[in-house]
Structure 1
Amino acid sequence: MINLEFNFNSTEPLYLQVAQQLEEAIFTGSFAEDQQVPSTTEISKQFHINPATVLKGMNLLVAKELIEKRRGIGMFVKVGAVETIGHQRKESFFTDYILNVVTEAQKLGLTEDKLIELIERGYQNDTTEN
């Protein structure tokens, strides 16, 4: 069975959770490129979610060109989907984090060199394995 987790108490709509969970599964390799993803029926039955809700989430991934419908067969991960997700996430990381860090550093009067030094210090203190 598929390993997806949904928070039914979240304020985030289930269809967005479906899209995010499937996107994460694609990005981490749980669903390989050109591999079929579970059907809306499979997901809806396994997780007790309305099939229309699951389909709405899957259609978001179709719109983002991460999965494609193959008539009469099902939904498949598009070739290049992992690269697309990676590119989107890097852009998001830049706009959501880096720009804010630079703005805050400027407010604090930190130079670019000092900011780079702090980032390097963060990497040196990182004890996780990559």
Structure 2
Amino acid sequence: MDDTRPLFQQIAEQIEDSIIDGSLPGETRAPSTNELAAFHRINQATAANGINKLVADGLLYKKRGVGMFVTAGARDKLVQRRRDAFGESYIAPLLAEAKRLEMDADDVKKMIDNWRDEE
């Protein structure tokens, strides 16, 4: 954990990443606050804040006496949320700059295809 963002937010994002990549599928047990705190060597309250953020977002739920679990459909919800954020962060500025450069959608698509082919 070496990001400038708060630790609880980093914890939440790591769990989100695990949900998206499928290593934490729906209806499976998520790491506990104790496990997260021990693994990352952080305060349990900080780990709990990360978990609570995911509960508030509807991505995790608690089974009393058993632990926290990934909600069904959490992956789809996260993918859609990140796609929306991707559009706002990358596509909108890309299209604004393309417009300033007098490029149309076909020009942008060709440029993307060329960059992809080079990789």
Partners of 1:116 and 1:105 lie apart in 2 by 11
Q: How many residues align?
A: 119
SS of 1:68 mapped into structure 2: strand
> How far 1:44 sits from its partner (Å)?
0.8
Percent pairwise identity = 35
> Cα offset for 1:73?
1.3
Matched residue, 2:46? 53
3-state SS of 1:33 partner: coil
The TM-score normalised by the length of structure 1 is 0.86
CA displacement at 1:125 relative to structure 2: 2.0
1:40 and 2:47 correspond: no
Note the 1:1-130 alignment, pairs <5 A.
6-7=1-2, 10-126=3-119
- Secondary structure of 2:65's counterpart equals coil
Amino acid aligned to 2:58: E
Aligned partner of residue 36 in structure 2, secondary structure = helix
**Unmatched tracts of structure 1, length 5 or more:** 1-5
Deviation at 1:65, TM superposition (A): 1.0
Instruction: Give the alignment's Cα RMSD to 1 decimal.
Output: 1.1
Equivalents in 2 of 1:77, 1:66: separation in Å? Answer: 6
Distance 1:37 1:119 in 2: 38
Structure number with higher helix proportion: 2
- In 1, Cα distance between equivalents of 2:5 and 2:15: 15
Q: Could you list the runs of 5+ residues in structure 2 that have no partner in the other structure?
A: none
